[in-house]
């Protein structure tokens, strides 16, 4: 009798975060930079004025208008804030949008994610009665369209959990990979051929630093009708605890998500939405300055750890580093445990983002930290690895 294969335990990102001191925490994917002072001021004034009551499930009207302006300016998409059914809604973070999508479209169905994948893309679906299937990228984080089509067709035709959607995350968590237009067109063609939804997670759009620009897949031919785009203010405004994000797309696609959000959340936080609406589009250079700041962090930390033997993937974006650990180490979990014990510095092992063993020698490093934290962490790593 053959032994069943033991399912490999995945690293728990939040548990690792709790084990490492803040001075060496490169683990959890959130920005730990200070809040924008004007945003903090607006929030304090609105809360003090007692604007703290229920709001509309689809979000604050002024923030929805500001988001529509942002989408037009940065994504080249005209969203009608007055459309019925809704084309844009404010959500309880990007996670709230994904939960609404899972509840509305994926109960008893499946969605395909590209591996290495963001764990919550899987966890959310499976908590709400769906299933995720991983499509593994090659070592250069690329794929062949024919292989994608064959895998999607196989999943689409099965009786249990038939494929309903493809999840596109670009720039990607964990790797930072920016999908090229050719890759996005391949996904779009597969989705159209098999009549699939596309869920486009674009949370990291403003961190693109390489030669490939951020291209919203909804802008490709025929994709507006089948794409739900999800985004968040958590990273770009350093307010992950505020739980504010948004979703947009064709009204017939967004309306069911709002129905689910109304039941699950009632509404996003009203005073925080009002505060953000006042500052979101006030500074036309905000996102340029954000990108340049993070590009500096990326370059500084990349150069430092490359000298220590890390092989860094050239992702084209700057919130995360995706790197293979030095050749003298075999496994990122034990490597990371050693770093936490000896240097007080923690990263996220690549196996947290994968089903296969192919990413066991990789780590994700979050550089959304103060420069003093990055410099101090690099010095501690040198003390152990140099």
Give 9's pLDDT tier (boundaries 50, 70, 90): confident
pLDDT attached to residue 5: 43
Reported as a single tens digit per residue, the pLDDT across 20-61 is 999 999 999 999 999 999 999 999 999 999 999 999 999 999
pLDDT attached to residue 77: 98
Reported as a single tens digit per residue, the pLDDT across 192-229 is 999 999 999 999 999 999 999 999 999 999 999 999 99
Contact 197, 105 (CB under 8 A): yes
Does residue 7 surpass a pLDDT of 90?
no
Q: Label the pairing between strands 163-169 and 197-201.
A: parallel
Give 1's pLDDT tier (boundaries 50, 70, 90): very low
Does residue 116 surpass a pLDDT of 80?
yes
Reported as a single tens digit per residue, the pLDDT across 326-374 is 999 999 999 999 999 999 999 999 999 999 999 999 999 999 999 999 9
Give 8's pLDDT tier (boundaries 50, 70, 90): low
Contact 18, 340 (CB under 8 A): no
pLDDT attached to residue 4: 41
Question: What percentage of the chain has pLDDT greater than the value 90?
Answer: 96
Does residue 251 surpass a pLDDT of 80?
yes
The structure tokens 């947290």 sit at 352
Does residue 6 surpass a pLDDT of 60?
no
Q: By mean pLDDT, which of 10-24, 234-248, 264-278 is the weakest?
A: 10-24
Tell me the C-alpha to C-alpha distance, in Å, between residue 232 and each of 16, 70, 196, 301, 309: 24, 12, 24, 25, 34
Please state, in angstroms and rounded to a whole number, the distance separating the CA atoms of residues 346 and 365: 9
Reported as a single tens digit per residue, the pLDDT across 150-205 is 999 999 999 999 999 999 999 999 999 999 999 999 999 999 999 999 999 999 99
Reported as a single tens digit per residue, the pLDDT across 60-72 is 999 999 999 999 9
Mind listing the domains of the chain with CATH numbers? 13-29+285-385 (3.90.1150.10), 38-279 (3.40.640.10)
**Phi, psi (rounded to 5 degrees) for 112:** -95, 135
By CB atoms closer than 10 A (0-12, 13-18, 19+), residue 82 is exposed
Does residue 304 surpass a pLDDT of 90?
yes
SS3 275: helix
Q: What is the mean pLDDT of the chain?
A: 96
By CB atoms closer than 10 A (0-12, 13-18, 19+), residue 6 is exposed
Token duo for residue 109: 């169905």
pLDDT attached to residue 11: 87
Please state, in angstroms and rounded to a whole number, the distance separating the CA atoms of residues 354 and 363: 12
């Amino acid at each position: 009798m053959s032994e069943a294969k033991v399912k490999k335990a995945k690293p728990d990102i939040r548990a690792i975060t709790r084990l490492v001191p803040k001075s060496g925490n490169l683990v959890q994917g959130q920005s730990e930079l200070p809040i924008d002072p004007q945003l903090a001021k607006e929030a304090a004034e609105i809360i003090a004025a007692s604007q703290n009551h229920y709001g509309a499930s689809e979000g604050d009207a002024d923030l929805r208008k500001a988001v529509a302006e942002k989408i037009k300016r940065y994504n080249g998409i005209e969203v009608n804030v007055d459309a019925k059914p809704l084309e844009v809604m404010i959500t309880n973070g990007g996670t709230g949008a994904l939960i609404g999508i899972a509840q509305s479209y994926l109960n008893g169905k499946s969605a395909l994610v590209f591996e290495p994948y963001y764990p919550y893309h899987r966890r959310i679906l499976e908590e709400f009665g769906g299933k995720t299937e991983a499509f593994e990228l090659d070592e250069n984080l690329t794929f062949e369209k024919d292989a994608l089509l064959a895998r999607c067709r196989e999943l689409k035709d099965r009786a249990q959990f038939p494929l309903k959607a493809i999840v596109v995350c670009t720039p990607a968590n964990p790797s930072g990979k920016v999908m090229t237009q050719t890759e996005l067109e391949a996904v779009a063609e597969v989705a159209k051929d098999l009549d699939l939804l596309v869920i486009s997670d674009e949370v990291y759009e403003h961190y693109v630093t390489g030669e490939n620009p951020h291209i919203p897949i909804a802008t490709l031919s025929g994709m507006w009708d089948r794409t739900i785009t999800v985004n968040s203010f958590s990273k770009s405004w350093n307010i992950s605890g505020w739980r504010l994000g948004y979703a947009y797309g064709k009204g017939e696609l967004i309306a069911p998500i709002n129905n689910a959000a109304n039941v699950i959340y009632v509404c996003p936080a009203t005073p925080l939405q009002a505060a953000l609406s006042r500052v979101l589009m006030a500074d036309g250079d905000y996102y340029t300055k954000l990108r340049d700041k993070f590009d500096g962090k990326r370059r500084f930390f990349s150069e430092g750890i490359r000298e220590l033997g890390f092989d860094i993937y050239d992702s084209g974006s700057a919130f995360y580093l995706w790197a293979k650990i030095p050749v003298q180490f075999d496994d990122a979990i034990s490597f990371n445990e050693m770093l936490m014990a000896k240097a007080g510095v923690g990263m996220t092992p690549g196996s947290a983002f994968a089903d296969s063993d192919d990413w066991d020698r990789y780590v994700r490093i979050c550089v959304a930290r103060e420069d003093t934290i990055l410099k101090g962490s690099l010095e501690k790593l040198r003390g152990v690895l140099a």
